[in-house]
Amino acid sequence: MPNIVIVGTQWGDEGKGKIVDLLTEKADMVVRFQGGNNAGHTLVVGGNQFIFHLIPSGILYENTKCLIGNGVVVDPEVLLDEIDDLNRSGLKVDSDRLSLSDKAHVIMPYHKAIDMAREVAKGSSKIGTTGRGIGPCYEDKAARIGIRVIDLTDPKILEKKIRNNLKEKNFYLTRFLNAEPLDWRPMLEKYLQMADKLYPYISDVSLELDQALKEDKIILFEGAQGTHLDVDHGTYPFVTSSITVAGNASAGSGTGPGSLGHILGIVKAYTTRVGAGPFVTELTDEVGDYIQEKGNEFGATTGRRRRCGWLDLVVVSDSCRINGLNSLAITKLDVLTGLDSLKICVGYRLDNEEVNHRPASLTQLSRCTPVYMEIPGWHEDISGVNSMDHLPSNARVYLEAIEDITGIPISMISVGPGREQTVIVRDPYES
């Protein structure tokens, strides 16, 4: 069985958490390789809802080891809260079940303060960040002044780094952003207290994964956000601060690229995005409202209403190429039930010319209009369907169009939020 990398093909919120949860049943390890607690994966299991921000969704399987890789930026308070919440729910989370990379970078209070103050200063030009300090933490990582998880275990090093960083951060906060300065003393005390609780989980994740590979164990690599939020390949600057594409599964976890295996792209049956940024197929009419309400499209992390639109296969096709996808998992197909007619964007019209890729220039992208193919909808309830053959004919036409246009086969179809509401067309582990 191959290892599997799971990535989003749109702007995040594709339903990756549910697919990770399903595939974890056959996995020995699940490793998160990028992002921070700006991501949220929502799962419904046995009628109970679980929302994860840092811990891989595979934690719901008691025989699976979950790992947070070096490519993730970690807010210790959020991580400890997640651990406590899971323990209270009856799911034991200890060091045998969860590892935290000693090389992962730590989100500090000054990162969050800068994140929020910048958005206020930008006013109507704001990017739409979650304010969790993700971007500023990645900035410090690149600037080589970041605090890593391993630093939490050395009080002298931690104090030195916090005090040095605050000299610059407080100057920036007060003199440029007109915000309040921060005191290093309570910050150090709080982080040392959290370090004591996190200590048992700290590990060299790269070594753990290497040993697992030598033992032929199956590893699931869990991405966060989506391809078009990638800091290089997304709709820059309306992107996240990490590399979200499949190639980063290797760098963000400490494994060689030869270990990645099957690349599975998650595609929501329509398109959504949270926050600002270009959105060619956005619907601002009653159809958009219908999709938003039926799909319960609110951000798992922020609670913000998601912008909704028709499925954009220009965006998805770009993701197929960038990630080297082997198959697609279609989620939330059931949300489209009840619409008389459906549209799929198969190209963009830019200044009287049709293009089949997303322009890098946001100026050009703002001039793009969608080229649609129209497909009749369906009204039959598909929430209990368990095979492709039992789907309404128009739903099958919709799915076949996705395969034909992207050139990538569909392996899984989600027809509802529950684990059991999933049609397996072909097993990614066998592909």
Q: How far apart are CA 80 and CA 191, in angstroms?
A: 12
| Catalytic option among 21, 41, 111, 233 | 41
Q: Are 341 and 29 in contact (CB under 8 A)?
A: no
Q: Which residue do the tokens 């060619």 mark?
A: 280
232 is a catalytic site residue:
no
Cβ burial of 77 (10 Å; 0-12, 13-18, 19+) is middle
How far apart are alpha carbons 396 and 386 in whole angstroms?
13
Angstrom distance (rounded) from CA 52 to CA 44: 12
Contact 57, 24 (CB under 8 A): yes
Residue 340 is encoded by which pair of tokens?
């008389």
Any catalytic annotation for residue 289? no
- The phi, psi pair for 379, rounded to 5°, reads -120, -5
Residue with tokens 């799971």: 6
How far does Cα 296 stand from its chain's mean position?
18
Q: How far from 333 is each of 1, 169, 235, 295, 359, CA to CA, in Å? A: 28, 46, 25, 10, 28
CB 219 within 8 A of CB 3: yes
Q: Which position among 13, 75, 140, 151 bears the catalytic label?
A: 13
Active site residues: 13, 41
